[in-house]
Chain A
């Protein structure tokens, strides 16, 4: 069975320092992985996606993620945190690729806290 594990429920960093949000997956087939972001009191927004092309994926707002098959990881990083990055981040894997018969498996989420 496919699953997604976000290793930290909360991550706290100081403004201007690097961000690392960790995500591991288990999958019996090559996965499609992506990250969503949810800002306070808002809906979910796609941050970036991996669909078996380049292993280093760039997203919006300066975030990027690297797919590492040997480590079954898809960690999200940003070189320098901004206050506006404070949000909850979700790592997601697709269970099936069929248009109308798929399921998104969501990680539990990581709350990113930015200290001034």
Chain B
């Protein structure tokens, strides 16, 4: 198993550009989520999904879109990047029936918006 994979590892964007952060898991997990990690703030939930075709907003969803067309993939889209979106982004997944702490995290994508 590759676990949770994220691409790219690093990305620099100019303000106003769009991009998609990719997340994939090969563990057949129903639940997938996106977090952003900022210094001094811990992790904050952006969006999550409990299965293909079902997504919902987390704590800080503004500026981000998600979709879940397959169980394996959960891409995060930035439609018009802003400097405030400079952060490290983590994707995570778990079985729906598992405890919320039993998430598997990807290695992260470090995004800089200039």
Interface positions of A (Cβ within 8 A of B): 4, 9, 32, 34, 41-46, 49, 51, 90, 92, 94, 97, 99-100, 102-109
Could you say which of B4, B90, B101, B107 contacts A46, with CB atoms under 8 Å apart?
B101
The answer to whether B100 touches A106, judged by C-beta atoms less than 8 angstroms apart, is: no
B100 contacts which chain A residues (CB < 8 A)?
94, 97, 99, 102, 104
Nearest chain A residue, comparing its CB with the CB of B59: A103
Q: Name which residue of chain A comes closest to B49, CB basis.
A: A100
Complex A-B: 21 CB contacts under 8 Å:
A4-B42, A32-B99, A43-B4, A43-B90, A44-B92, A90-B42, A92-B42, A94-B101, A97-B100, A99-B31, A99-B50, A99-B96, A99-B97, A102-B100, A103-B45, A103-B59, A104-B43, A106-B42, A108-B40, A108-B41, A109-B40
- Interface residue SS majority, chain B: loop
The answer to the question of B44 belonging to the interface, with a C-beta cut-off of 8 Å to chain A, is: yes
Encode B13-51 as 1/0 by CB contact (under 8 A) with A.
000000000000000000100000000111111000010
Residue B74 lies at the interface, judged by CB distance under 8 Å to chain A: no
Q: A51-B99, A103-B59 are in contact. Are A45 and B45 (CB under 8 A)?
A: no
- A102 contacts across to B, CB distance below 8 A: 100
- For A9, A43, A107, the residue with the greatest tally of chain B CB atoms inside 10 Å of its CB is A43
Residues of B within 8 A of A4 (CB): 42
Contact: A34 with B105, CB < 8 Å?
A: no
List of B residues within 8 angstroms of A107 by Cβ: 42
**CB nearest neighbor in B for A98:** B100
Does the CB pair A44–B90 fall under 8 Å? yes
> Across the interface, which residues of A come within 8 angstroms of B59, CB to CB?
103
The 8 lowest CB-CB distance pairs between A and B, nearest first, are: A106-B42, A43-B105, A44-B105, A100-B50, A106-B43, A43-B107, A102-B100, A108-B40
Asked if B105 and A45 make an inter-chain contact with CB atoms under 8 angstroms apart, the answer reads: yes
